[in-house]
A = this chain, B = another copy of it.
Amino acid sequence: MGKEGKGNFQLKTPKGTRDWSGTDVVLREQIFTTITNVFKRHGGVTIDTPVFELKETLTGKYGEDSKLIYDLADQGGEITSLRYDLTVPFARFCAQNAVQNIKRYHIAKVYRRDQPAMTKGRMREFYQCDFDIAGQFDPMLPDAEILRIVKEVFEELPEWKGKFTIKINHRKILDGIFQICGVPEDKIRTISSAVDKLDKSPWEEVRREMVEDKGLDPEVADKIWTYAQLKGGKDVVEKLQAMPEVVANESAKQGLENMAMLCDYLEIFDVMPSLSVDMSLARGLDYYTGVIYEVVTEGSAPSAAAKDVAKKEKKQKKSTDPDEDRSNDPTIGVGSVAAGGRYDELVGMFSGKPIPCVGISFGVDRIFSITKARLGTAQAIRPTEVDVFIMAFGGGKDFTGMLPERMAVAKQLWDAGIKAEYLWKTKPKLQNQFKAAENGKVPWAIILGDDELKAGKIKIKEMGLPDGHPEKDGVMVEKANLVEEIKARLSGKASLPDRTAA
């Protein structure tokens, strides 16, 4: 972040926020478009809610993390806060409008006063990209649709196909297992949170937390571990269904029936190869009531190095400046890249009338960072979409610059919907015009010359052709046919050989 000040004025964005520009924003828009196309393919409609909500709307929804909520100043009138996620505003929207059913997507920024870690993509302002289904339907059908959406998104994002795993579990199975192991009812949520750390910490550490910090009987902890290690495909469900103590528990039995049905549906949808049924997945948030899932990828799952740092952080916790983030190491995994689950009670917290919901949230900023790294420098992203740069050829003291002529050609192209630019100089040098076209990676040039124009001709030149190419110097076309000639080239139907992709 550049900091140039005038006097003692700070020229920067607020902590934990950043500007997006250049090819970064082009790539991010491509990611949004890919995801939005999948959402629309499944009948998604978008809604837009305010960036701030009444504070009481957010109160009591996020547990401990409520301390991360940004409040607006009390300037008279209502007390409001910036949204922390898109799920609670969605639930408020459903309750307020007595929505019966909706498939809604929402791509927007959310706000958390957390310790930023720029290199890991952890920011105070970041995008979420959510798809949720609200309504009463036959079991597991919306859940299957969400997981199919997850598969389509990651198969269609550049450099993600075959590089992601959807970890899945079910709160009812988990709760059942905790009951079977003998976890006291009032400790289920906190023990569940401990289990959820198994992707970041070794069992010994999680066990210590359960026993020492949370006062769990060591035998109960060890019993949990026998189940928590189970992971695989539908076989995990079948294995658990074959255990008499498990199916004797009503919650586990129901959850497993759900999961078996879901696996059958996901078989039809060809999602099973990407799925890992994982008994160590628990998810932090309180409001989940059914299936829970998160998507991990190479480089997103925390590494051994991350575990070390996490340990160190824990030890140093009390002595450290809270304004400094010690895990600001780009080699460390960024956690899950998408996560969600079923939450049947949240809307009821607002209206008293629960509406079953299931959804997914894509962490677009994390997806962006990983995609960018995978694309590497090989990827030449065009900074603009301009297809044609209009130039004047000439020099010497008789050179007029042909400004009105260039403007007239620009108008003609714009009228035809063609993206075109020209240099805002009355007498531009030819090399500066070429430089501008090259900087913008513009694929085509139109070159006006006095003599040619008098003869009703205009030159079209493909940029970036190698030396020796027969059309390196461009081809002359009739001025009267200019728009058609350009359109044919842009659609790849011209007599010119197809230009190689920029």
- A residues apposed to B, CB below 8 Å: 1-4, 6, 9-15, 17-22, 25-26, 29, 37, 40-54, 56, 70-75, 77-78, 80, 82, 92-93, 95-98, 104, 109, 111, 113, 125, 137-138, 141-142, 144-145, 148, 152, 265, 268-270, 323, 349-352, 383-386, 404, 407-408, 411, 414, 417-421, 424-426, 440
The minimal Cβ–Cβ distance linking A409 to chain B, given in whole angstroms, is 10
Complex-state Cα separation, A385 to B11, whole angstroms? 44
- In the complex formed, the residue of B with least CB distance to A10 is B54
- Asked, given contacts A25-B46, A43-B419, whether A52 binds B411 with beta carbons under 8 Å apart, the answer is no
Q: Which residues of B contact A92 (CB under 8 A)?
A: 11
Q: Which residues of B contact A11 (CB under 8 A)?
A: 92, 95-96, 350-351
Cβ–Cβ contact A2 & B96, under 8 A: yes
Complex-state Cα separation, A20 to B51, whole angstroms? 12
The minimal Cβ–Cβ distance linking A124 to chain B, given in whole angstroms, is 9
Q: Which residues of B contact A78 (CB under 8 A)?
A: 14-15
Q: Max chain B CB contacts within 10 Å: which of A17, A45, A351, A411?
A: A45
Cβ–Cβ contact A13 & B49, under 8 A: yes
Complex-state Cα separation, A483 to B441, whole angstroms? 37
Q: List 18 A-B contacts (CB under 8 A).
A: A2-B96, A4-B96, A6-B351, A12-B96, A13-B49, A14-B78, A15-B77, A19-B93, A21-B93, A25-B45, A25-B47, A25-B48, A42-B419, A51-B109, A52-B125, A70-B73, A137-B424, A268-B407
- In the complex formed, the residue of B with least CB distance to A405 is B268
Q: Which residues of B contact A49 (CB under 8 A)?
A: 13, 19-20
Q: How many copies of this chain are found per oligomer?
A: 2
- In the complex formed, the residue of B with least CB distance to A389 is B43
Complex-state Cα separation, A421 to B37, whole angstroms? 14
Complex-state Cα separation, A69 to B242, whole angstroms? 63
Complex-state Cα separation, A21 to B134, whole angstroms? 15
The minimal Cβ–Cβ distance linking A324 to chain B, given in whole angstroms, is 13
Complex-state Cα separation, A74 to B71, whole angstroms? 8
Complex-state Cα separation, A414 to B41, whole angstroms? 7
The minimal Cβ–Cβ distance linking A297 to chain B, given in whole angstroms, is 22
Cβ–Cβ contact B50 & A351, under 8 A: no
Cβ–Cβ contact B46 & A414, under 8 A: no
The minimal Cβ–Cβ distance linking A444 to chain B, given in whole angstroms, is 13
- In the complex formed, the residue of B with least CB distance to A77 is B15
Cβ–Cβ contact B4 & A268, under 8 A: no
Complex-state Cα separation, A230 to B69, whole angstroms? 54
Q: Max chain B CB contacts within 10 Å: which of A21, A113, A352, A421?
A: A21
Complex-state Cα separation, A80 to B43, whole angstroms? 39
Q: Which residues of B contact A144 (CB under 8 A)?
A: 407
The minimal Cβ–Cβ distance linking A105 to chain B, given in whole angstroms, is 11
Complex-state Cα separation, A264 to B91, whole angstroms? 56
- Asked, given contacts A51-B51, A414-B152, whether A384 binds B77 with beta carbons under 8 Å apart, the answer is no
Cβ–Cβ contact A80 & B14, under 8 A: yes
Contact with A125, one of B4, B51, B75 (Cβ below 8 angstroms) = B51
Complex-state Cα separation, A407 to B267, whole angstroms? 10
Q: Which residues of B contact A148 (CB under 8 A)?
A: 411, 414
- In the complex formed, the residue of B with least CB distance to A96 is B11
Q: Which residues of B contact A41 (CB under 8 A)?
A: 414, 417-420
The minimal Cβ–Cβ distance linking A229 to chain B, given in whole angstroms, is 32
Cβ–Cβ contact A6 & B43, under 8 A: no
Q: Which residues of B contact A18 (CB under 8 A)?
A: 50
Cβ–Cβ contact A411 & B13, under 8 A: no
